[in-house]
């Protein structure tokens, strides 16, 4: 089973580029499952039902998210009726939505996608490590392919999660910082790992936001309202080839596309 994971899609520029690049990426790498983090796909903050529907219609199978999923109130009721949109599983019980997707990839393989969120410099949530144990214990053992989006700020927490889940899931892929890291590897137990998948959006920016506005915020320490940047767009993500029988990763490679 060949997975394409696309790093955080930011704003309409990011969405347009995904629509453009996705068919080629799917055919070039023989992709059977597409997953993207979409928590900033609507104008750079949050996600709305029409934007989520637009992303699904492009050919994205599962959307993951993070702390910004709660930004737009329209998404709240949608979370309960769209099983292919995840929010981190370790938020308080009783909140709308779910953090685990189970289904089949295009080649028929049973897959699970799990969304978790870190706790360092992030909103308070339950422990993502213990939540991961709980989810894996409750998962149908016949689902060998398990993909984790770990939405977290610090590299150490993400790397710790990679080691914690090594051999128990097919991939641990970090999101949230919008900065791609060059550490894609397969851990000894067979788990593909990258600290951060990076961003799909405008890179002449401060993590996707207009750089002049972001600079004003840093220079004045006042609550300047950020806006999504424009200009040159890049897509960053990973392709992971996974053994259907064992669920272990066989190959992981970073993918990158750009458009001026």
- Residues involved in catalysis: 68
Q: Which stretch binds Fe ion (CB under 5 A): 102-110, 168-176, 203-211, 220-228?
A: 168-176
194-220 burial string, b = 16+ CB within 10 Å, else e?
A: bbbbbbbbbbebbbbbbeebbeeeeee
Considering the complex, state which of residue 34 and residue 67 has its C-beta at the smaller distance from Fe ion. Answer: 67
The contact pattern for Fe ion, residues 87-126, with x = CB under 5 A and - = no contact, is ----------------------------------------
The site for Fe ion, by CB under 5 A, has a size of 3
Shortest distance, position 138 Cβ to Fe ion, whole Å: 26
Binders of Fe ion among residues 66 to 85 (CB under 5 A) are: 66-67
Alpha helices in the chain (DSSP H): 11-29, 49-58, 75-81, 128-138, 155-165, 211-220
- Under the criterion CB under 5 A, does residue 247 sit at the interface with Fe ion? no
Residue in the shown chain whose Cβ atom is closest to Fe ion? 66
List, as own/partner pairs, every contact residues 41-45 make where C-beta atoms lie below 8 angstroms and the sequence separation is at least 24, other chains included: 41/9, 41/10, 41/11, 41/14, 41/15, 42/11, 42/72, 43/11, 43/12, 43/228, 44/10, 44/11, 44/201, 44/208, 44/209, 44/226, 44/227, 44/228, 45/71, 45/72
Residue 176 binds to Fe ion (criterion: CB under 5 A): yes
Whose Cβ is closer to Fe ion: residue 2's or residue 67's?
A: 67
State the nearest-atom distance from the C-beta of 157 to Fe ion, in Å: 13
By CB under 5 A, tell whether 46 contacts Fe ion.
Answer: no
The window from 25-33, 61-69, 90-98, 111-119 that contacts Fe ion (CB under 5 A) reads 61-69
CB of 205 to Fe ion, least distance (A): 16
Which residues are 240's β-sheet partners?
3, 252
Q: In this structure, what token pair is assigned to residue 69?
A: 């999923």
Given the rule CB under 5 A, which residues bind Fe ion? 66-67, 176
């Amino acid at each position: 089973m060949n997975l394409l994971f696309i790093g955080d899609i930011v704003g309409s520029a990011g969405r347009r580029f995904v629509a453009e690049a996705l068919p080629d990426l799917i055919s070039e790498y023989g992709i059977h499952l597409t997953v993207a983090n979409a928590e900033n796909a609507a104008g750079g903050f949050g996600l709305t039902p029409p934007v989520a529907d637009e992303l699904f219609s492009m050919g994205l199978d599962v959307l993951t998210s993070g702390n910004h999923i709660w930004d737009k109130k329209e998404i709240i009721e949608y979370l309960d009726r769209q099983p292919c949109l995840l929010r981190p599983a370790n938020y308080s019980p009783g909140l709308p939505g779910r953090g685990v997707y189970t289904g089949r990839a295009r080649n028929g393989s049973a897959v699970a996608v799990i969304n978790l969120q870190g706790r360092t410099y992030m909103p308070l949530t339950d422990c993502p490590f213990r939540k991961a144990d709980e989810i894996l214990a409750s998962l149908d053992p016949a689902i060998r392919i398990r993909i984790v989006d770990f939405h977290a700020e610090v590299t150490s927490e993400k790397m710790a999660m990679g080691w914690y889940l090594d051999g128990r899931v097919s991939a641990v892929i970090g999101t949230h910082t919008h900065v791609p890291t060059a550490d894609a590897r397969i851990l000894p137990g067979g788990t593909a790992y990258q600290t951060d998948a990076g961003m799909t959006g405008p890179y002449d920016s401060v993590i996707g936001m207009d750089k002049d506005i972001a600079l004003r915020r840093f220079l004045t320490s006042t609550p300047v309202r950020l806006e999504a940047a424009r200009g040159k767009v890049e897509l960053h993500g990973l392709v992971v080839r996974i053994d259907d029988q064992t669920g272990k990763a066989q190959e992981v490679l970073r993918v990158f596309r750009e458009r001026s």
